Structure 1
Amino acid sequence: MDKEIIMNMDANMLLSILNMKLRDEFNTLEDLIKSYDLDRELLTNKLSKSGYIYNVKINQFTQK
């Protein structure tokens, strides 16, 4: 995944991809962010505007 593509992606598509990656490949959001060189604040703000927050207990983005 390319950083620019991720940040310009539709929020619902991004949510689906991130949750799949978190479920299948990464133990934490921090691991995913480091792997793709993403800005955590930009990513979480983008999803927050669409009504999603990161739930560390289940390692997934969920509805607020």
Structure 2
Amino acid sequence: MMADLPKDPVMLLGTINMKLRDFYPTLDALCEDLQVGKDWICSTLSGIDYEYDPKRNQFV
């Protein structure tokens, strides 16, 4: 499923935050369902200075 996610970090940010907002209660649930590595998402988005905030359930 990872192939379906954008490789561009800014596009990935929008996609992940939209999926978290609309479909998943946590980042772990998203990663499990989409079969994508949490480390990959977090490291890619940290490259553009975004970190996951579990209280807000989004990358900020």
TM-score normalised by length of structure 1: 0.86
Counterpart check, 1:3 vs 2:2: yes
Higher strand share: 1
RMSD: 1.2
Deviation at 1:16, TM superposition (A): 0.3
Q: Runs ≥4 in structure 1, deviation > 6 angstroms? A: none
> Structure 2 stretches of 5 or more lacking a match?
none
Report sequence identity in percent: 35
How far 1:5 sits from its partner (Å)? 4.0
Other structure's SS at 2:59 match: strand
TM-score (norm 2): 0.91
Query: Which AA in structure 1 matches 2:52?
Result: Y
What is the deviation of 1:42? 1.4
Between Structure 1 and Structure 2, how many residues are aligned?
60
Matches within 5 A, 1:21-36: 21-36=19-34
Q: CA deviation at 1:4?
A: 2.6
